[in-house]
Amino acid sequence: MHTEFENVDLNLIRYSLVWEGYDTLYNAMDITPKDDLLMVTSAGCNVLNALLKQPRSLTSIDLNPEQNRLLLLKTHIIEHLEHDVLISLMGFNGMKDVAGAWESVAPALEPTLREHWEDFFAKHPGGIISAGKLETYIHHFLPGLPEELQKKVRHLLSFTETAAQYEYFLTNLEKSEFKARFIEYFDQQNLSKGRDPQLFKYVKESGGELFYNRLKVFISNQLVRDNFYFRFFMFGPEEIPEIILPPCYRKENFLKLRAQLPKLNIVTGEAVEYLLSPEGQKINKAGLSNIFEYVSQSHFEEVCANLFTMRKLPLRMVYWNLLQSQGETTCLEFRLEGESNKLTRKEACFYFMNVRVMESVPHSILK
C-alpha cells in the first residue's frame, strides 16, 4: 500500500506513546491462543498489550525503523531487567529516575546501540514516553496557558461524577479563553509541528475545532481522573496511578509479559503489503492503528478489496480514524457496524473520530 507516511522523515521517533486505546484493541481483536496477529509497532505499547492476551504469534511491523528500535529496547529491558527500570526509563517516575535507569540498561547493549540511546537520553532527559515528535508538541500546550487556566484544567481531576465534571468544564473552561487557545494550538498549521504536513494531504477539515468538540463530548461522558490518555495528554507522565497505566506497564503483568516475548517478531515494512505476502498469509487478526489516514479513499477501497478477497485465511482487522473517515461509504460489506459504533463510543482517547472493525467472514467462523 502506498502511503504518504513513506514521504516523511523516518529517522526519529514520531510517537513515543500508542494513543489508540488498549481496551478498544482488546474488544475489537478478541485475542485467543489460536490467533496469529499483525500489529503496527508505533511506540510498541499495544504490541506489548496484545502479547499479554497470549496469542500464538505476533508480528510487529512499522515503516519507521526507529519505532521498531524503540520496541526492541523495551523488550530488552523486559527480558533482562526489572519492572522499575522500565517504568523509570519511560519517565513515569519523573526525570529524577531516568538517568539511573539508563545506567542499569546501558552496560548490556552493544556499543553502537548504546551510543544511539545515550544520545537519545541526552536530548530527552525526561524519558521515553514524552520524547516523540507528537508528544513533545502536545506537552507544550498546557504550560503555555495562563497559570489560572492551568489550575482549572487540573481541577478536572478532582471530580468523581461526570455530570459535575462536565458542568465545571462548561462554566470554567468553555466560557474562558481555554477554548480559543485549544482550537488555535491544535489547528492544522500548528499541528504540523507534531505531525508532518504530508500527512494532511487527504484531510478536508482543519483539526482544532474538531478536536475541541471531541474533547467536550469526552468530558461529558468519561471521568478524566481515571483516563490515562487524558492525564498524559494534559499533564505528562508523572503522578499517573499505576492502576490506569496501559497493562504492559503495570508491575502485575511484567513477568507474564516476559514469558510472552518469544512469540514476538519485529519487521520493518508496510503492514498491508505484509498481509498480502506469503509470510503474512497466516495472520488472521490485525491491529492497524490509523495507517489509513495517509491514503486516499479510492486507494483505501482497493486495499480493502485486496485484503478481504485475495487472502486464503479470513481476516479481522481494527483501525482508527483521526481526520479522515475511511470506511464510511466504502467497503461496507466488510464493516461490523454495531461493534464499530460501540467501540467508537467507548474509545479512551478523545481525539479519534471513530473506530472501524472489519472482517471477511462472520466472527463466529474465526473462533
pLDDT number for residue 158: 98
Q: How confident is the model at residue 365 (pLDDT cuts 50, 70, 90)?
A: very low
Residue 44 has which C-alpha cell?
510498541
> How far is residue 77's CA from residue 128's CA, in Å, rounded to a whole number?
13
Query: Residue 233 is inside which H or E element, if any?
Result: helix 228-235
pLDDT number for residue 140: 95
Name the 3-class secondary structure at 264. Answer: strand
CB atoms inside a 10 Å sphere around CB 257: 22
* Close Cβ partners of 234 (under 8 Å, ≥ 6 residues apart): 141, 142, 153, 154
The terminus-to-terminus CA distance of the chain in angstroms comes to 28
Residue 314 has which C-alpha cell?
479470513
Q: How much is the pTM?
A: 0.93
> How far is residue 358's CA from residue 360's CA, in Å, rounded to a whole number?
7
Cβ atoms of 193 and 137 within 8 Å: the answer is yes
Angle of CA points 228, 343, 330, to nearest 5° = 130
Q: Which of residues 333 and 357 earns the better pLDDT score? A: 357
> How far is residue 1's CA from residue 65's CA, in Å, rounded to a whole number?
18
Report, as an integer, the average pLDDT of 301-328: 89
Domains and CATH numbers, the chain: 4-126+253-366 (3.40.50.150), 133-244 (no CATH)
pLDDT number for residue 340: 96
Report, as an integer, the average pLDDT of 330-358: 94
> How far is residue 61's CA from residue 38's CA, in Å, rounded to a whole number?
7
Segment 208-237, tens digit of pLDDT: 889 999 999 999 999 999 999 999 999 999
Name the 3-class secondary structure at 310. Answer: coil
> How far is residue 331's CA from residue 329's CA, in Å, rounded to a whole number?
7
% pLDDT > 90, the chain = 79
> In whole angstroms, how far apart are CA 176 and each of 151, 157, 190, 212, 273?
13, 18, 21, 13, 48
Cβ atoms of 105 and 68 within 8 Å: the answer is no
Residue 366 has pLDDT above 60, yes or no: no
Residue 100 has which C-alpha cell?
539511573
Question: What is the residue-averaged pLDDT of the chain?
Answer: 92
Cβ atoms of 90 and 237 within 8 Å: the answer is yes
> How far is residue 322's CA from residue 354's CA, in Å, rounded to a whole number?
7
Segment 115-152, tens digit of pLDDT: 999 999 999 999 999 999 999 999 999 999 999 999 99
pLDDT number for residue 17: 98
Residue 62 has pLDDT above 90, yes or no: yes
Segment 160-171, tens digit of pLDDT: 999 999 999 999
Q: Of 213, 151, 152, 156, which Cα lies nearest the Cα of 182?
A: 213
- Residue 355, phi then psi, degrees to nearest 5: -120, 140
pLDDT number for residue 364: 42
% pLDDT > 70, the chain = 90
pLDDT number for residue 313: 86
The overall longest dimension of the chain from CA atoms, in Å, is 59
* Close Cβ partners of 229 (under 8 Å, ≥ 6 residues apart): 19, 21, 348, 349, 350
Cβ atoms of 68 and 266 within 8 Å: the answer is yes
DSSP E strands in the chain: the ranges are: 36-40, 57-62, 264-268, 285-287, 316-321, 354-359
Cβ atoms of 319 and 290 within 8 Å: the answer is yes
